[in-house]
């Protein structure tokens, strides 16, 4: 007869594996192969690298701003961030109709924190509106870095009394149901990793600037409503 099982309940006894079993469980059966209660400190007692197939990187060290990339099906290597690549894109819209006589009024803002000080920021800003006074209007783009106050991101050849704007509209006459698209793009080099807030502002000589709407804004099909938008993109330089 061959003994295949032991019914501990029938015997009225138990076996305490923590105190009544001696020896070692072989490694192949899930044991450690050791009777000592010494543990391996992986932080100080293990050197070298863990191979990629076992969950490691195959690397012992790297440098600041480097990334990991696969150089083969089972190998990883450190690599610098590629240049000329889009690293992040952020967008903010202003849908509400606006009517203002204030030059420097913030139409729309968008904050971004560059991941590298060498990055460039590509700004797209667009505004649709109307100005019915016999003067010019437009938009300007400013930036604020680390709460240090607003400053223009671009300059214009505004000789004499001419108004330099990022995008603008001359006197639009008496038409009260017409809007114009104002805006453009600009590549900014902030040279920082601090948070930057870009702002699209009104630039008004005199009169009222109507944004995202016509000046009459009557309830009919030819009175349109639009959206103002600012998009900022971090480009690895």
Q: What range defines the domain where residue 146 resides? A: 86-156+164-235
What are the mean pLDDT values of the chain's consecutive 10-residue runs (237 residues total)? Answer: 51 53 61 58 61 62 68 68 84 94 93 95 90 76 88 72 64 61 88 95 85 83 86 93
pLDDT of residue 152: 84
- Classify residue 148: in a domain, yes or no: yes
Q: Give which of 225, 199, 230 is closest to 130, Cα–Cα.
A: 225
pLDDT of residue 200: 93
- Classify residue 204: in a domain, yes or no: yes
Q: From the CB of residue 95, how many other CB atoms can be counted at a distance below 10 Å?
A: 11
What's the CATH code of the domain at 143? 2.60.120.1340
In the chain, the number of structural domains is: 1
- Classify residue 76: in a domain, yes or no: no
Tell me the pTM. Answer: 0.62
pLDDT of residue 151: 86
Please enumerate in sequence order all residues whose Cβ is within 8 A of that of 122, keeping only pairs 6 or more positions apart, or say none.
185, 186, 187, 188, 232, 233, 235
């Amino acid at each position: 007869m061959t003994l295949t099982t032991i019914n501990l309940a029938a015997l009225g006894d138990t076996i305490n594996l923590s105190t009544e079993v001696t020896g070692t469980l072989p490694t192949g059966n899930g044991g450690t192969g050791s009777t000592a209660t010494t543990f391996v400190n992986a932080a100080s007692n293990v050197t070298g690298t863990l191979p990629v197939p076992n969950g490691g990187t195959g690397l012992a060290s790297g440098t600041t701003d480097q990334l990991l990339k696969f150089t083969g099906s089972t190998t990883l290597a450190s690599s610098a961030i590629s240049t000329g690549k889009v690293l992040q894109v952020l967008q903010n819209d202003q849908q509400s109709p606006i009517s203002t006589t204030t030059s420097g009024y913030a139409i729309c803002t968008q904050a971004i924190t560059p991941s590298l000080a060498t990055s460039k920021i590509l700004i797209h800003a667009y505004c649709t509106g109307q100005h019915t006074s016999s003067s010019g209007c437009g938009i300007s783009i400013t930036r604020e870095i680390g709460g240090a106050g607003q400053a223009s991101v671009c300059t214009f050849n505004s000789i004499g009394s001419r108004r330099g704007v990022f995008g603008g509209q001359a006197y639009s006459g008496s038409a009260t149901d017409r809007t114009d698209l104002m805006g453009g793009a600009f590549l900014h080099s902030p040279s920082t990793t601090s948070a930057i807030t870009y702002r699209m502002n009104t630039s008004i000589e005199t009169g009222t600037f109507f944004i995202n709407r016509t000046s009459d804004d009557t309830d009919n099909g030819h009175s349109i409503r639009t959206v103002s938008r600012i998009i900022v993109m971090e480009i690895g330089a």
